[in-house]
Structure 1
Amino acid sequence: MTETFLIVGGDAAGMSAASKAKRDDPDREVVVLERGEWVSYGACGLPYYVKGEIDDLEDLVAIPAERFQEERDIDLRTGHEAAAIDPEDQTVTVETDERTYTQSYDELLVATGARAIAPPIDGLDRDGVFTLQTMEAGRELKEYVDAQAGDTVGIIGGGYIGIELAEAFRGQNLDVELFEMRSHVLEPFGSEVAKTVESELRDNDVAVHTDTRVDRVAGDDRVRTVITPDGKFPVDAVLVAAGVQPRVELAESAGIDVGPTGALATDQYGRTNVESVYAAGDCAEIIHAVTGDPAHVPLALTANRAGRAVGATVAGEPTPVGEIAGTAVLKAFDLEVARTGLLEDERLREAGFDPVSVSITAASRAHYYPGGSEVEITLVGDADSGAVLGASMVGKEGVAKRIDTVAAAIQGDMSVTDLAYLDLSYAPPFGPTWDPVLTAAKVLGGKLS
């Protein structure tokens, strides 16, 4: 009898799992339930769609639904929402606009993703308040932007999405007021990088308000004002970019454990505590390479890799989902901003490390080659073991790929000395003889010795 691999969620983790399972075990029935109309799309591209650099929302779709259905023989059902899981009977209750039915499974993957956080701020239910977590949200925000001219948008949150949307709005000639309740934007990147990014934002006419809590947003028929302890700021729209939280309610109600991060707890193969049930993607925990502890880092590669591993395991080849270093990069106007591993002194000490850090500034190219600029690097190592723990970088060029060298060092359990001795490439148009990463490692090695 044909076994059924049922997947709840049709984005990165879900469709990667479906494709891998069907490829490795063509006789297996693979069913995907997706409550929306979009599958396998690049949500990371939404800020650039809003800015106008990407013309069509459809361009963000990696593989259209019909290709999964026709070319890969995957039973993909859009507009089908999983309402309940019954682990004992191994069934899922499914709701559509027309009916409710029960779908059985032999193995189940929960890939329900994450939702935008709605902070406890009065007035967020008013018209003109947006988030940017889904394709439909991206369409709505773009329609608003296209209809405006010279208006002001308030952004609540100075993380990835907040920074990227500040650039997108300025690119559409909108004024921007950005509110961040912490001391700096991009807090996980460290204060040195954050200060450089804040300067870049202000140079591009973004009004940056740090250490600023938004109490409420006010208006009549729609939002008109952002109210903080420092005063009232007139706006024509508000983007809430306060982060995301994993969608775990469906799984939790079925007895599937939630881990310490608030995401679904899994083992090295993505298995939950419930037999035959897996979890992957933005709803699930994964082990951090620095601490060895569960982490929730909702990034695209993490979701795709974990989903693919679960698909291979279900098809008969047990495959670990792997560890992550939390490597991330974003564009902030003319800057590349990146990080990997852990930088926060308190968090590292809680994990048992004795962190030591250095911050350096180096040239992105050979000093005599035209067009170069400065790269700022903060590198963190452990005083006891000498291990590389994390890094952050900012600069106008060469940052987005240099961070990968440190990420590889972390996941390869390399020491700071090992990093300093890497045989990295050199040519004047691309870097100095001593790459900035090597220089940072040399300086940090001196402090650790």
Structure 2
Amino acid sequence: MKYVIIGGDAAGMSAAMEIYRNVPGAEITSLERGFIYSYGQCGLPYVVDGRISSTKRLIARDVETFRDKYGIDARVGYEVNGIDVDKQLVFGTQASGEAFELPYDKLLIATGADPTMPVKKGAHLVGIHTVKTIPQLEDLLADLTPDIETVTIIGGGYIGLEMAETIHACGKKVRLIQRSSYVARILDEEFAQHVHDEAKKNDIELLLNTDVEAFEGQHRVEQVLTDKGALQTDLVIMAVGIKPNTQFLEGTGIAMLKNGAIIVNRHLETSIENIYAAGDCATHFNIVKERLDYIPLGTTANKQGRLAGLNMSGKFAPFRGIVGTSILKFFNLTIATTGINEQKAKELGFDYEAFKLSARHIAGYYPGAQRMYIKIIVRKRDQLLLGAQIVGPSGVDKRIDVFATALYSKMTLPDLLDLDLAYAPPFNGVWDPLQQIARKNGRL
């Protein structure tokens, strides 16, 4: 049995390892267009200010490990340009320029996603960076010389906010441009104000409702042209989102969403027999929305990859779905969300209620207690949990994971009161903040 995997990172190599464990003697070939395998992309921003000492520390398993220890034909510099679904062939070009063709019995597409570059004019100038891969980050690090004073970050999502913090820690002046009225769009607007306050507290120049139209400079970027005027800059980081890397599938008949994400079923199968997909290039079933969704996260990529590998190995291993849980650090603030926010509930037509609470993350009388802010969304008719947003300096991660587990289990607001959660004054109040909001608003 010939297994071919396109993509050598989270989803692809999680699948490869499951095939290796479950199919003795399997012939596994992985094709990576770059030259680095299995690394933690989410750790990239923290290499900038030295919190993580080197990009090498982000690599979980190198190419040689896959080849020598597990017998996987892990290839680098192999870019796939197309698939012949009738002949079951993958074809493309090596870094040397030489063409290749490879047959498969089962194929996994795990090509991830690429950063988008919506601003075309001047995008070729030196000093304009995206941060998605180790080589891209190393290019940025090489460019962050002492004479770089002002860095402009475009986009206020996960990467934009994380990069703002770490670039600021390097002693640079940071400007963050967001085209909409608030950053951290995973939150509702009133909760994003906490993020705005944290940005101002740390001298981040925040420009909202601002469209970037072009970049200008002789050889290197010198100005960012916006609909509100020109801004001087020494370096630009584009962090406006990603797009599934699936353009090479044109003409294959593989079903995709409008954004290019490959539609998969619970077993990670595509619309074409013997072809699977997983990770940032694929759809994810959303348990709360009860429909296919696209929320590309490293946790989901690893889980989907693992299950794709099991299904390709002949095991019954359905992917049960996501609830859309994410968290990020922004200076002294933790920002977390799971399920849907109020804006999304309106868009989807849910008949919902929203409840808010401000509470201490531990017993209020214990030294160091800090305030967190919680907003939850429930379905009106039965108080089924639909989503939560939590921001604060401490204790946010614990609560968002509890709520995510409750969402996955389809619990109601009153159900939270029955949870047996850990309590001691240094760790919690006798009623956890999630239970406090249930006590105040839950209908039994």
Q: What corresponds to 1:442 in structure 2? A: 439
Letter in 2 for 1:376: Y
Conserved 8 A contact 1:47-1:168: yes
Partner of 1:120: 119
SS at match of 1:52: coil
1:121–1:214 contact (8 Å) kept in structure 2: no
* Pairing of 1:131-280 with structure 2 (within 5 A): 131-145=130-144, 147-149=145-147, 151-260=149-258, 262-280=260-278
Q: Secondary structure at the match of 1:304?
A: helix
Q: Could you say what secondary structure the match of 2:281 adopts?
A: coil
Q: Tell me what 2:300 maps to.
A: 302
AA in 2 matched with 1:382:
R
Give the 5 Å matches for 1:29-108.
29-98=27-96, 99-108=98-107
Retained in 2: the 8 A contact 1:150–1:175? no
Tell me whether 248-257 or 297-306 shows the greater mean CA deviation: 248-257
User: Corresponding residue for 1:330?
Assistant: 328
- Please name the residue that 2:10 is paired with: 12
Q: Give the partner amino acid of 1:319.
A: A
CA, structure 1 residues 426+149, in 2 after alignment: closer, same or farther (shift >3 Å)? Answer: farther
Residue 249 of structure 1: CA displacement? 1.1
1:110 equivalent in alignment to 2:126: no
Give the 3 Å change call, closer, same or farther, for CA 233–355 of structure 1 in structure 2: same
Quote how far apart the aligned CAs of 1:150 are.
5.8
Q: Deviations over 1:26-46 (max 9, x none)?
A: 211111000100110101000
Shift of 1:418: 0.8
Distance apart, 1:260 and its partner CA: 4.9
The C-alpha deviation readout for 1:343-373, integer Å capped at 9, x for no partner, is 033x324534212111211001111211121
Q: Secondary structure at the match of 1:109?
A: strand
Give the structure-1-normalised TM-score.
0.96
2:412 is aligned, of 412, 415, 434, to 415
Amino acid at match of 1:224: E
Report the Cα offset of residue 401 of structure 1: 2.3
Does the C-alpha gap of structure 1 residues 393 and 121 become closer, same or farther in structure 2, counting only changes over 3 Å? Answer: farther
Q: Deviations over 1:396-445 (max 9, x none)?
A: 11112210111111111111111233121111111211111111233342
Q: CA deviation at 1:85?
A: 0.4
**What amino acid is aligned across from residue 378 of structure 1 in structure 2?**
K
- Equivalent-residue separation in structure 1 for 2:40 and 2:398 (angstroms): 20
Q: Distance in 2 between matches of 1:339 and 1:175?
A: 29
Per the alignment, residue 348 of structure 1 pairs with 345
CA distance in 1, matches of 2:221, 2:232: 9
**How many residues are matched?**
443
Instruction: Please say if residues 358 and 443 of structure 1, whose CA atoms lie closer than 8 Å, have aligned partners that are also in contact.
Output: no
- Distance in 1, matches of 2:356 and 2:120, equals 37
In structure 2, distance between residues paired with 1:221 and 1:228: 20
> Which residue number in structure 1 is paired with residue 427 of structure 2?
430
Compared CA separation, residues 150 and 113, structure 1 to 2 (3 A): closer
Alignment check: 8 A CA contact 1:261 1:295 kept: no
The one-letter code of the counterpart of 2:68 is: E
Match of 2:396 in 1: 399
Identity of aligned residues (%): 38
After superposition, what is the alpha-carbon deviation per residue over 1:378-411, rounded to whole angstroms, capped at 9, x for unaligned?
1110102311000111111111221011111111
Per the TM alignment, residue 338 of structure 1 is displaced from its structure 2 partner at its CA by 0.5
Distance 2:440 2:214 in 1: 47
Please give the secondary structure, in 2, of the residue aligned with 1:282.
helix
What's the offset of the Cα at 1:149? 4.5
For the residues of structure 1 that align with 2:432 and 2:350, how far apart are their CA atoms?
27
CA distance, structure 1, for counterparts of residue 196 and residue 146 of structure 2: 26
Counterpart CA distance in 2 for 1:369 and 1:90 is: 64
State the distance in 2 between where 1:65 and 1:441 align. Answer: 50
Whole-angstrom distance in 1 between the partners of 2:253 and 2:216: 40
Secondary structure at 2:390's aligned position in 1? Answer: strand
**How far apart are 1:329 and its partner, in Å?**
0.5
Superposition pairs of residues 353-372 of structure 1, within 5 angstroms: 353-372=350-369
Q: Are the counterparts in 2 of residues 188 and 344 from structure 1 also a CA contact under 8 Å?
A: no
2-structure distance, mates of 1:102, 1:286: 30
Question: Which position in structure 1 is the counterpart of 2:314?
Answer: 316
Q: 1:377 corresponds to which letter in structure 2?
A: I
Matched position secondary structure for 2:279: coil
- How many Å separate the matches in 2 of 1:196 and 1:389? 22
Q: Distance in 1 between matches of 2:228 and 2:259?
A: 33
What amino acid is aligned across from residue 262 of structure 2 in structure 1? L
Aligned AA (2:110): A
Letter in 2 for 1:64: D
Give the Å deviation of 1:197: 1.0
What one-letter code is carried by the residue in structure 2 that aligns with 1:430?
F
Cα separation, 2, equivalents of 1:102 and 1:48: 39
Higher mean alpha-carbon deviation, 175-184 vs 317-326, is at 317-326
Q: Which amino acid aligns with 2:222?
A: R
Q: Equivalences for 1:273-288 in 2 at 5 Å?
A: 273-288=271-286
Check whether the contact 2:372–2:391 (CA below 8 A) recurs between aligned residues: yes
Residues 282 and 303 in structure 1, CA contact (< 8 A), matched pair in contact too: yes
- Supply the distance in 1 between the matched residues of 2:323 and 2:293 (Cα, whole angstroms): 10
| 5+ residue gaps, structure 2 | none
Deviation by residue 1:181-238 (Cα, 9 ceiling, x = unmatched): 1111011222233110111111111001111112222222111112223332211011
Q: Do the aligned partners of 2:113 and 2:243 also contact (CA within 8 Å) in 1?
A: yes
Q: Distance in 1 between matches of 2:249 and 2:415?
A: 43
